[in-house]
C-alpha cells in the first residue's frame, strides 16, 4: 500500500487518477481506517487530503458557505455563522459517532461512505447542499442528492473526489432541522432519520420546503410530496398528517432486529412532523 499526502488538489487528483489498484481518499479516516483494519478493503493507494489548504476551512461568502472536505464536524459545531444559518445541518453532523469521532470525521466522508443511515446527508440534501468535485477532467459541481447511488456506491468517476460541500445562503425566514431515531441516545446508527428545511412567506406560511428521510431506503430520499404537503400551510395538524403520510409512502426500509419495516415507516412520519415543527420555529413561525 502506498500513502501520499499531497498539498494541492490537482496533485491529489492526479495521484488518484493514476493509481493502478484501488485508491481511497483519507480525511478523518473514521470509516476508512476501520475498513482497512478489519480487512474489508485493501487499498493500493491512500491519499491523505488534509494537507491541502482548500480542504481545511469553512468559508462564508455572499452566496453561502463552503466546508472543506477535511473539516471535522466538531469544527462545524464551533462555527457560529454556520450554526446560525444551518442549525439542522450542524446538529446532524454532530450526531455522527461520539465526541472523539466528531473531532476527526467529515461530512464529505459521511456522504462518500454512502450509508443509507448517514446522519449528515438528509440534512445536507434538505438544505440544498452541493458537492464541489475535482477530477482528472477538471471541476464540476453536483447536488448532494446525486452523489450516492446505493449502499456503498457513489456517482463519482475514477479519479474524482469531493473537495468541499457548499451550502447556499439561506433566504430570510428560513430554518432547518434533523432528527433521528436510534435504539440508544448516542453513538449508534440511525434506524430512521428525517431532515426538513423550509422558508416562510408573509404571514408565516411555508413558501418553500425540502423534506428528506434517512435509513428507510437504499439511499437517503428527498420526498417532494412531503414538501408539497406543508407548502402553503402554517403546519396545521392536517398539513402535518399529510406530511407524515407522504413520508410513510416514501419509505422502503429494511426489516431487521434494530427496527421492523412497520416501525421504521411510522416513526419516519413522526420524526418528519417533529423536524418540520422545529424548522418552522427556527424560521420564525409560531
Partner 1 sequence: MNDRNTDTGIGAAVLRKEDRRFITGFGRYTDDINEVGQCHAVFLRSPYARADIGEIDVSAPLEMDGVIAILTGRDMAADGLGDLPCGWSVKSKDGSDMISAPHPPLASERVNYVGEPYGVVLAETRQAARDAAEAVATDFGELEAVVVLKTATSSEAIHEAVPQNRCYLWELGDEQATDAAFQNAAHVVTLELTNNRIIPNAIEPRAALATHNPASDEITLYTTSQNPHLARLILSAFVGLSPEHKLRLIAPDVGGGFGSKIFVYPEETTVAWAARRIARPVKWAADRSESFLTDAHGRDHLSRVELALDADGQFLGLRVRTTANLGAYLSLFAASVPTYLYGTLLAGQYRTPAIHVEVEGVYTNTVPVDAVRGAGRPEATYVVERIVEVAARQLGIDPVELRRRNMIQPDQFPYQTPVALVYDTGNYQASLDRALDAIDYGGFPARRAASEAAGKKRGLGFACYIEACGLAPSQLAISLGAGVGLYESGEVRVNPTGSVTVFTGSHSHGQGHETTFAQIVSDRLGVPFDDVEVVHGDTGRVEFGLGTYGSRSVAVGGSALVVAADKVIAKGKLIAAHMLKADPAAIDFESGEFSVRDSNQSLSFGEVAFAAYVPADYPEDLEPGLSEKAFYDPENFTFPAGTHIAEVEIDPQTGVTEVVAFVAVDDFGEVINPMIVEGQVHGGIAQGIGQALLEHGVYDDQGQLITGSYMDYCMPRADDLPDFDVDTTITPCTHNPLGVKGCGEAGAIGSPAAVMNAITDALGTEEITMPATSEKVWRICRGD
Q: Which residues bind partner 1 (CB under 8 A)?
A: 181, 183-187, 189, 257-260, 263, 266-267, 270-271
Least Cβ distance, residue 270 to partner 1 (angstroms)? 5
CA angle 106, 127, 13 (to 5 degrees): 40
Least Cβ distance, residue 14 to partner 1 (angstroms)? 34
Which is closer to partner 1, CB of 13 or CB of 179? 179
Least Cβ distance, residue 189 to partner 1 (angstroms)? 7
Q: How many residues does the chain have?
A: 286
The Cα 148–Cα 198 span in angstroms is: 23
Joined together, the cell numbers standing for residue 254 give: 429494511
Least Cβ distance, residue 207 to partner 1 (angstroms)? 28
Which is closer to partner 1, CB of 85 or CB of 235? 235
Which is closer to partner 1, CB of 61 or CB of 186? 186
Q: Are 191 and 181 in contact (CB under 8 A)?
A: yes
Q: Which residues of 39-60 are buried (b: 16+ CB within 10 A; e: fewer)?
A: eeeebebbbbbbebebbeebee
Least Cβ distance, residue 266 to partner 1 (angstroms)? 8
H-run or E-run covering 45: strand 45-48
SS (H, E, C) 62-104: CCEEEEECCCCHHHHHCCHHHHHHCHHHHHHHCCCCCHHHHCC
Which is closer to partner 1, CB of 211 or CB of 283? 211
Which is closer to partner 1, CB of 20 or CB of 37? 37
Which is closer to partner 1, CB of 4 or CB of 263? 263
Least Cβ distance, residue 267 to partner 1 (angstroms)? 6
Q: Are 122 and 214 in contact (CB under 8 A)?
A: yes
Amino acid at each position: 500500500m502506498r500513502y501520499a499526502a499531497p498539498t494541492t488538489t490537482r496533485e491529489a487528483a492526479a495521484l488518484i487518477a493514476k493509481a493502478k489498484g484501488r485508491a481511497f481518499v483519507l480525511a478523518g479516516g473514521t470509516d476508512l481506517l476501520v475498513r482497512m483494519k478489519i480487512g474489508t478493503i485493501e487499498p493500493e493507494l491512500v491519499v491523505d487530503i488534509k494537507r491541502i489548504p482548500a480542504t481545511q476551512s469553512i468559508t462564508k461568502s455572499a452566496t453561502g458557505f463552503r466546508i472543506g472536505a477535511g473539516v471535522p464536524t466538531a469544527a462545524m459545531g464551533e462555527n457560529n455563522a454556520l450554526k446560525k444559518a444551518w442549525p439542522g445541518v450542524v446538529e446532524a453532523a454532530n450526531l455522527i459517532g461520539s465526541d472523539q469521532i466528531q473531532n476527526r470525521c467529515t461530512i464529505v466522508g459521511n456522504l462518500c461512505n454512502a450509508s443509507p443511515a448517514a446522519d449528515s446527508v438528509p440534512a445536507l440534501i434538505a438544505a440544498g447542499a452541493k458537492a464541489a468535485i475535482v477530477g482528472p477532467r477538471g471541476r464540476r459541481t453536483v447536488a448532494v442528492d446525486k452523489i450516492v447511488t446505493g449502499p456503498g456506491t457513489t456517482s463519482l468517476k475514477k479519479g474524482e473526489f469531493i473537495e468541499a460541500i457548499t451550502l447556499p445562503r439561506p433566504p430570510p425566514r428560513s430554518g432547518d432541522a434533523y432528527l433521528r431515531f436510534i435504539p440508544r441516545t448516542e453513538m449508534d446508527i440511525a434506524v430512521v432519520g428525517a431532515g426538513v428545511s423550509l422558508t416562510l412567506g408573509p404571514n408565516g406560511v411555508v413558501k418553500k420546503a425540502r423534506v428528506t428521510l434517512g435509513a428507510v431506503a437504499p439511499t437517503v430520499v428527498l420526498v417532494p410530496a412531503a414538501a408539497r404537503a406543508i407548502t402553503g400551510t402554517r403546519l396545521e395538524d392536517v398539513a402535518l398528517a399529510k406530511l407524515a403520510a407522504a413520508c410513510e409512502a416514501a419509505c422502503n426500509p429494511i426489516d431487521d432486529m434494530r427496527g421492523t419495516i412497520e416501525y421504521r415507516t411510522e416513526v419516519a412520519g413522526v420524526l418528519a412532523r417533529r423536524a418540520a415543527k422545529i424548522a418552522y420555529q427556527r424560521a420564525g413561525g409560531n
